[in-house]
Amino acid sequence: MKFMIVGKASAETEAGGLPSQELVDNMHAYNESLTKAGVLLAAEGLYPSSQGVQIAYSGGRATVLDGPFTEAKELIAGFWIIQVKSREEAVEWALRVPVPQGEEGVGLQVYRVFDASDVPDESLPSEERAHEEALRQRLRGNEPNA
């Protein structure tokens, strides 16, 4: 099962400040432990919302809104995608994420990632499953782009 651990943004991350060297070192150690356990698929930090956009839909039309998103309460500062055996294991890994001292209110969210392999074979036509697998192989670099 794949899970995404989402790190919420704080006033400091939204201000664009760099984390302390201690936190950077702790994050490197955490990411190394995920890697050694063979569960890490991806991990990235995100720039402040001032460098992002939101896309809002109304009446069938899309509107692009430039950041920052000061009215948003649930901004994201970074994420990890892990592959583990259970939700409980994902939560165990999330509880190990290093959090800076004094960052009250900064939290994490853990979401299960939907994967085509989660759909029973009989629910997905074989040509759609083959197309999905071919796309994933290309993304992994195991097959030339078609």
Are 9 and 52 in the same domain? yes
pLDDT tens for the chain, 146 residues: list them. Answer: 999 999 988 888 899 988 889 999 999 999 999 999 999 999 999 999 999 999 999 999 999 999 988 777 789 999 999 999 999 999 999 999 998 766 666 589 999 998 777 777 666 677 877 777 787 778 777 655 54
pLDDT at residue 137, rounded to an integer: 77
Q: In terms of residue numbers, what domain contains 133?
A: 116-146
Question: Same domain for 146 and 89?
Answer: no
pLDDT value, residue 142: 65
What amino acid occupies position 5? I
Please say whether the beta carbons of 89 and 1 come within 8 A: no
**How would you label 28-53 residue by residue, b for 16+ Cβ within 10 Å and e otherwise?**
eebeeebeeeebbeebeebebbeeee
Residues 104 and 55 in one domain: yes
Domains identified in the chain, total number: 2
Q: What is the pLDDT of residue 135?
A: 78
Whether 129 and 106 map to the same domain: the answer is no
Question: Can you give the pLDDT at residue 29?
Answer: 97
Are both 77 and 140 inside the same structural domain? no
Q: What is the CA angle 30-33-39, rounded to 5?
A: 110
Asked if 90 and 120 sit in the same domain, the reply is no
**Residue 58, pLDDT score:** 93
In terms of domains, do 22 and 87 share one?
yes
CA nearest to 74, candidates 114, 99, 105, 111: 105
Task: Write down the pLDDT at residue 1.
Answer: 93
Residues 25 and 46 reside in one and the same domain: yes
What is the pLDDT at residue 69?
86
User: 8 — phi, psi (to 5°)?
Assistant: -70, 150
Structure letter (DSSP) for residue 85: S
pTM for this predicted structure: 0.79
Residues 26 and 96 in one domain: yes
Q: 35: domain CATH number?
A: 3.30.70.1060
pLDDT of residue 46: 94
